[in-house]
A and B are shown apart, each in its own frame.
Chain A
Amino acid sequence: MSRSTLSALLAATLVPALLTYSSLAAGQSAPASGKVAEGARTDAANEMPLALAPYKYAGSPQNFAFELRFSPYRPAVDSAPGLTGAPFSRTFGDNSRLMVSAEFDWQALRIRHFGSLGPGLTAGYTSFARPAYFTGSTTTSAQKTNFEVAPFLLQAVLRVDVLATDLGIPIVPYAKAGIGAGYWRAYGADGTTTVNNKSGKGVSFGPSYAVGGALLLDFLDRTTAASADEASGINNTYIFGEFWGAELSNFGSTKAMHVGDRTFALGLAFEF
């Protein structure tokens, strides 16, 4: 792609956005969640060259959100009361692993000039694997020992999108709170480890929470965003970052594997 072509594309993409936000700053009505409201057509048509006029599209109905999430994760196994050592650190070290998760939200309640509220379900997975130590030795064997965690979270999700819809600021702060269930399993070459007739797997419950912010990407190319909405029903696309935690320890029980963590997540979100 030549430099001139790139410049033209950037101009075509960014200039309308800048002009739109300039007009918003002057007190005009805000586009609805990334889409240009129909009323804006008149103003834009009067004040802008036709080629730069906002795309006239009201958008499809919006009820759901989907997030693809990536987090560093390290279960807080060693924080369990009653442990005399740090078995998790000793076995798997101190580094986190990548957790990949997905979240589906139902924006059941839409609060005008504020945002949306509704339940969301998150499912994630990560696993740890390291060579096991020979018993009574500090030498590692070639045999791996493994631990996997799959948290499932059911949370209330509040998305405050008034900044984007009413003020034209493409940022959507949000918060989540709810409960979670963390499935875990310790396994080796022969499958799930069993010690004293107790199987090395289970589920730990506890509260979960998150706060974060999402950057609305639609402003980068409104025409494409609107086309995507028309074609697939995706109203808005975001990248987001959040701090989140899941206290998956059966509320601090000594009989539960503490598989929660407090960490952050980055990802992509889609409203549809």
Chain B
Amino acid sequence: MSSPLRSWRRTAPPTGVRVPSRLPVAFAAGALGAGLFFVPALAAAQTVTVGSSVIRVTSENKEDTSTRPSSTAQTITRADCEADQGFQFQVSTTGYTSSYTLEAWAGRSSVDCKLSGNRTPTNGAVQKCWKIYDGSLPRTTPQTVNLRVRDIMANDVSAGQNYVNAAKNSTVCGTGIDDTFKVSFLILPVTSNPDSVAADETFTKRVDTLGPDKVSNVAASAGEGRLLVTWGAVTSGSELYGYNLYCADANSTIPIGTADGGTDDAAVSDASVQDASVQDASVQDASVGADASVQDASTNDAGTCGPNVALVEGAVPASPLPDGVWLCGSVNSATATGASATIGRDKKALKNGDKVWVAVAAVDQALNIGPLSSAVCGTPQLVDDFYEVYVADGGTAGCSMHGSAGGIGVGVGLGSGLAALALLRRRRGGRR
């Protein structure tokens, strides 16, 4: 069975588009006596064909075998972008001689990158396509071509005719995109009229890096080894998959939205794109320390948690999370309005007495994470379960040997026996 991850929607016929050479050009060349030297090359038909098996690859160009929701099978998500995923194409060509180049371009779905004006604008027109492969593809056929998702969704035309090279950092991942992009393989003549397309093959791909709306009305209550977190359901924005709970403590000094140790600054979310309410992490940086904008625990839980630096309201959690911020709970329900934060900083159980900040972010069907809610403080505390109260009051009942299977088994066994006996008697009675 072919994986849904492998199929891209072609806009060209599956066998590839065979575009005849520009015969008028050949005739013109012949008529002008340019020489028979050029004629064979121009007369031969060029084709470019991409196999139907387009697979996702990791940043090391190995096939990505991780499982993902079927809803994201055909989508480039923010997580894909942050993981620097790529797509691997099997490209076959004919007539791809030294007189031609084979280039890969990308553009919004509404833009036709076969038109030279969209790749090489003139007279001050706006460039609408960007080059997503460095130089011309090799002449080997068939050949494997890996294209980076960051390049595909770069939406960056500043490179002009050069390779956009957006994959060099993850800046593009933080831009909220919800659109369809095209990838076009174009065979272009080198010498004459380089913008005329000899052959092309085009694919479309949906890009959805726009997370759901911010969660509001977050509150946390203490439980035993947990914080019981509640929030108001997100009812607008992307179709939801669930909610993530992020925790930090007073020792967490790196704002969320800044990737691990600041080595991948590009992961910082861009407020101007994501959501008007999203705060830029660089702005939040200024609040590190005793800045007045730091959320003070006294406003949440009797001043027990210390300053909150890491859980920046409105910032979009990026992977990997910065040191000191951890995913402490989640719920895979779009309608959930509460969940328990149970995981501590050491990835083990949250301990009673641990003073933690917790914030909530919604997750959509593409597994894009929305901006963080405001953070609230809580401290897990011991509670008295009924059985603990019972034992403390001198009760001695309880035994692992007489579990549910025993009690239910007694009932089921007795019931089955009684029913079988009765039915047997009724059947015998019926024969009389």
Contact = CB atoms under 8 A, between A and B. Distances in A.
Interface of A: 61, 63-64, 77, 80, 82-88, 90-92, 104, 106, 108, 119-121, 123, 132-135, 141-143, 145-147, 150, 152, 154, 181-186, 188-190, 193, 195-196, 198-204, 254-257
A143 B386 CA distance: 12
B408 A188 contact: no
B419 A202 contact: no
B426 A150 contact: no
B418 A183 contact: no
Interface in B208-246: 221-226, 228
B415 A189 contact: no
B399 interface: yes
Interface in B373-432: 381-400, 402-404, 406-408, 410-411, 414-415, 418-419, 421-422, 425-426, 429-430
A62 to B, nearest CB: 10
Contacts of A190: 225
Given A142-B223, A195-B391, A133 B384 contact: yes
Contacts of B407: 150, 152, 181-184, 202-203
Which 8 A-B pairs have CB atoms at the shortest separation, nearest pair first? A183-B407, A152-B411, A142-B221, A143-B223, A200-B387, A186-B387, A257-B397, A106-B422
B340 interface: yes
B226 to A, nearest CB: 6
Nearest to B226: A189
A142 B386 contact: no
A108 B421 CA distance: 10
Given A123-B415, A141-B223, A199-B398, A135 B408 contact: no
Contacts of A203: 402, 406-407, 410
Contact of B418 (A119, A201, A202, A256): A119
B340 A83 contact: no
Q: DSSP class of A's interface residues: helix, strand, loop or mixed? A: strand
A135 B383 contact: yes
B395 A121 contact: no
A270 B173 CA distance: 66
Contacts of B226: 143, 189
Contacts of B419: 104, 106
A61 B383 contact: no
Contacts of A143: 221-224, 226, 228, 383
Interface of B: 221-226, 228, 340, 381-400, 402-404, 406-408, 410-411, 414-415, 418-419, 421-422, 425-426, 429-430
Given A145-B386, A152-B407, A202 B397 contact: yes
Contacts of B391: 195-196, 198
Contacts of A152: 407-408, 410-411, 414-415
B222 to A, nearest CB: 6
Contacts of B383: 132-135, 141, 143, 145
Contacts of B396: 82, 254-255
Contacts of B414: 121, 152, 154
Contacts, number: 179
Nearest to A107: B422
A83 B408 contact: no
Contacts of B395: 77, 80, 82-83, 87, 257
A18 B255 CA distance: 83
Contacts of B404: 183, 185, 201
Contacts of A120: 418
Contacts of A255: 396-397
A181 B411 CA distance: 8
Given A106-B422, A152-B410, A134 B382 contact: yes
Contact of A198 (B400, B411, B422): B400
Contact of A141 (B221, B389, B392, B418): B221
A202 B398 contact: yes
23 contacts: A80-B395, A83-B395, A87-B392, A90-B389, A91-B389, A106-B421, A121-B411, A132-B386, A134-B381, A134-B384, A135-B384, A141-B383, A143-B221, A143-B224, A145-B385, A152-B407, A154-B414, A185-B404, A195-B387, A199-B398, A202-B397, A204-B397, A257-B395
B277 to A, nearest CB: 28
Contacts of B222: 134, 141-143
A17 B178 CA distance: 72
Contacts of B400: 198-199, 201
A133 B426 CA distance: 55
A195 B399 contact: no
B403 A189 contact: no
Nearest to A129: B386
